[in-house]
Structure 1
Amino acid sequence: MPAPHIRPARSDDEEPLRRLDRDTWSLLHAVSPPPGPDDPFFRPHSGPDDHIVAELDGAVAGYVRLGFPTPLAANAHVRQIRGLAVADAARGAGVGRALVRAAVEEARRLGA
């Protein structure tokens, strides 16, 4: 299997990411209720700029969501992984590892 292509999310990733989020939601690791069938993936507090996407063969295979742990100015230099998903079909292909590495690079680029 080829290495995943890592890139910033775009607004036109809305539907594939929404589908991926629904498909990968599980009681085993969820910290929030399952996404509803009409819930948007991107929200005002976590838009495309807060996401990094992995593609395999041109299709969305995973994402990582970065954010701030708190709104406090004292935490402005800190980034937190606030979501991570890998499509079942892409597991074992290095997608998760590539996304975490990209998240670390992005956090450093932003001054974390």
Structure 2
Amino acid sequence: MDAISSVIINKALDGLALRAEATAQNIANANGRNYRPVQVSFEESLRAAAAKGSEAVRDLPLSITAAAQSAFGDEPRLDLELATAAGTASRYSALLNLLGREMQIARIAVQGGQ
């Protein structure tokens, strides 16, 4: 794996962790009056930063923002929040698996194939 790939994966893991935090906030506050759901969107900006190099990816800010109003209103929808949580966990797990495999390959290379 080249150097920029690991930087991208690390930033994606940070973004997914922040998204999990935002989703947890939405679920915890779903019954709160006047609560406005939040979100984390980073994939497009990560893609653009990746085209500029490792430094741009490292410097990419990640943040929780107010979610755009949906056709269903401002209220958090638990069904959609749970779907977001499941998708986020799945992506996070896949990226960790990828990093684990890369570390395993590096370990074998350092040990001389033994």
* Class of the TM-score when normalised by the shorter of the 2 chains: under 0.3
Q: What TM-score results when the alignment is normalised by the length of structure 2?
A: 0.24
Higher normalized strand content (fraction of residues): 1
- The higher-RCO structure (CA 8 Å, 6+ apart) is 2
Q: Find the structure with the greater CA-based Rg.
A: 2
Higher normalized helix content (fraction of residues): 2
